[in-house]
Amino acid sequence: QVQLVQSGAEVKKPGASVKVSCRASGYTFTAYVFHWVRQAPGQRLEWMGWINGDNGNTKYSQDFQGTVTITRDAPANTAYMELSSLESHDTAVYYCASHPWGTYSLDHWGQGTLVTVSS
């Protein structure tokens, strides 16, 4: 069945970068779009950006422009989200989610990855 499996929890120091992976299984990676969503403790969901699994085209939220980079390795069925210049407010659970190209809702979700930024 369709599944998104994310990498494990990370602890980083302020100023560092983190790269979270999201491996897809059960469907054709290149027919899907992959999104990243942030949720700080007790806070709402925030959309960060998306990547086309086929051609690698990306689109980012203005709120994260310049600090987030989303990439993918199609042969490995994996999408990545890298967040740089980490600050304490970046402490959050990061989710990947996907949908077929040509649709517009987040059908499938990963389990979430907790990133903790602490000195």
Partner 1 sequence: QSALTQPASVSGSPGQSVTISCSGTSSDVGRVNRVSWYQQHPGKAPKLMIYDVSNRPSGISNRFSGSKSGSTASLTISGLQAEDEADYYCYSLTSTSTYVFGTGTQVTVL
63 binds partner 1 (CB under 8 A): yes
Per rule CB under 8 A, count of chain residues that contact partner 1 = 24
Range 26-45, binding partner 1 (CB under 8 A): 35, 37, 44-45
Task: Kindly state the smallest distance separating residue 72's Cβ from partner 1, in Å.
Answer: 18
55 binds partner 1 (CB under 8 A): no
Selected from 19, 59, 101, 118, the binder of partner 1 by CB under 8 A is 59
18: left (phi over 0), alpha (psi -120 to 50) or beta: beta
CA distance linking residue 81 with residue 88, whole number of Å: 18
Give phi and psi for 25, each to the nearest 5. -145, 155
Q: Rule CB under 8 A: which residues touch partner 1?
A: 35, 37, 44-47, 49-50, 59-63, 95, 97, 103-107, 109-112
